Structure 1
């Protein structure tokens, strides 16, 4: 997670309102990570947020020392309070401030993971070489990112932000349409760095409950830059949210069983030669 206009302020409570849906892709990612090189592995979680999915690493590798890194003070406070400490298998879970844009490992790692963070990091593929260099032989870099910048929830947000009423304040604060690369581009970059790369896409059909659930979802993630930019003007903030809400209601109609939100994600698991 990142923290201003280009670095939005995060709200752990809002983010966690859809924790179950958000955690599933991370579990699916970890299911494809191979055995790690050491019995008590060193693991980094880049962009750990409130730490709720970082805990899954300690369940898969109970002897590991896992550190979650984030540059959002709000997210780190929540992670420290709720999850930090020794693990049941004798390992340790801790959290530390770091910016994924500049973080460079200072010790060998068995696994470096990132969950729904790299889409916020321009030039993130340029970071792969440093991370892979820091892996022990047989270690892995694994990440997943939302791959739906063309979906209505983002397209409508961008279109609205570009209208005359909002463009001066919002047109340049949202995620760029090239914030995530193609699966082939990731595979090529990781393979050229000497890894056996496994890259795939999955579309989840989340059934969301409650009133305006797609708006509630995106208020925890993709809408954060706009909410940050309008934080000093509550009246404008509510006006923008109302306009955007009405657009989302048309794009994601409710059904008797809930509101369906298709959400495509991209996954990559890259294992260094042993």
Structure 2
């Protein structure tokens, strides 16, 4: 008997303005990731897989101002925002953006990269660890592959979202819309994959305690990321979308109560750097 497969997650429609509402908090893990990337040669070539609106890609140009940097994304909405940042950089490098599906992207064999980096993107790519071999093969000698992914799929923000989407009321409408807790691997599995490829590897995890302000701030956060598939699936039915958001917001308020100084939102993230010999 064939093994049943989970329904394919629909491609979410992205909203750069909503995503950037928490830009400072979202950039922090990328800054921490770059702090563990070794220095690159002059005129380095860098690829950013899943560049989004380009705000963190720009940080690459600040760290390596003479590098040629290209950001790839599947979302035309995000790329429209990112391309406003394209152009020469003060150190003589260049920042550019292009459309590409990370799941299919393969570096050209005659144009190796000194750094391939991905920030909070690979969780959207089923089987992404199977691509590690071809990405590492696309690095120059001594090059680095570095990425960061959320590790909070078991947190209330995501568990409550899945619980509501899979409830009797919403199950038929939202079947297969959300990622599950297997969207990313365990840290030890990432370590094993990268060490097996012959890389000098460092894997770690950090839980950030974001202090959020405003009404329903956790809902506002996930509306820019994890909730996008739900919002996309209900886009043609505003009444149903608003009903789902109302029910979900009530559950989030209970899970993340507002304090005198704001709402604490713990967020676990997984990091890895892998350097070729």
Q: TM-score, normalised by structure 2?
A: 0.96
Among 66, 71, 76, the alignment partner of 1:73 is 76
Equivalent residue for 1:186, pick from 187, 190, 195:
190
Q: Residue 261 of structure 1 is aligned with which of 262, 265, 270? A: 265
Q: Within 5 A, what are the aligned runs for 1:116-265?
A: 116-265=120-269
Q: Give 1:183 deviation, angstroms.
A: 0.5
Asked if structure 1 preserves the Cα contact closer than 8 Å seen for 2:9 and 2:179, the reply is no
Find the counterpart in structure 1 of residue 3 from structure 2: none
Q: Per the alignment, do residues 241 and 223 of structure 1 end up closer, same or farther by CA in structure 2, a change over 3 Å counting?
A: same
Query: What secondary structure sits across from 1:129 in the alignment?
Result: helix
Contact map agreement 2:71 2:97 (CA 8 A) in 1: yes
Q: What is the CA distance between 1:171 and its match in structure 2? A: 3.0
* Number of the residue aligned with 1:39: 42
Alignment partner, residue 64 of structure 1: 67
Give the Cα–Cα distance (whole angstroms) in 2 for the partners of residues 216 and 222 of structure 1: 11
1:84 pairs with 2:89: no
Shift of 1:231: 0.3
After the TM superposition, list the runs of 4 or more consecutive aligned residues in structure 1 that deviate by more than 3 angstroms: none
Checking the alignment, whether the CA contact within 8 Å between 1:51 and 1:78 is kept in structure 2 is: yes
Q: CA deviation at 1:244?
A: 0.2
Query: CA contact under 8 A between 1:14 and 1:220: conserved in structure 2?
Result: yes
Q: Which of residues 101, 105, 108 in structure 1 aligns to 2:107?
A: 105
Determine helix, strand or coil for the equivalent of 1:254. Answer: coil
2:25 equivalent to 1:21: yes
Whole-Å separation in 2 of the counterparts to 1:221 and 1:210: 18
Q: What's the C-alpha RMSD, in Å, of the aligned pairs?
A: 0.9
Partners of 2:154 and 2:208 lie apart in 1 by 15
Q: CA deviation at 1:5?
A: 5.5
Per-residue deviation, 1:139: 0.2
Count of residue pairs the alignment pairs up: 268
Aligned partners of 1:5 and 1:229 also within 8 Å: no
Identify if the C-alpha distance between structure 1 residues 208 and 62 changes in structure 2 by more than 3 Å, giving closer, same or farther: same
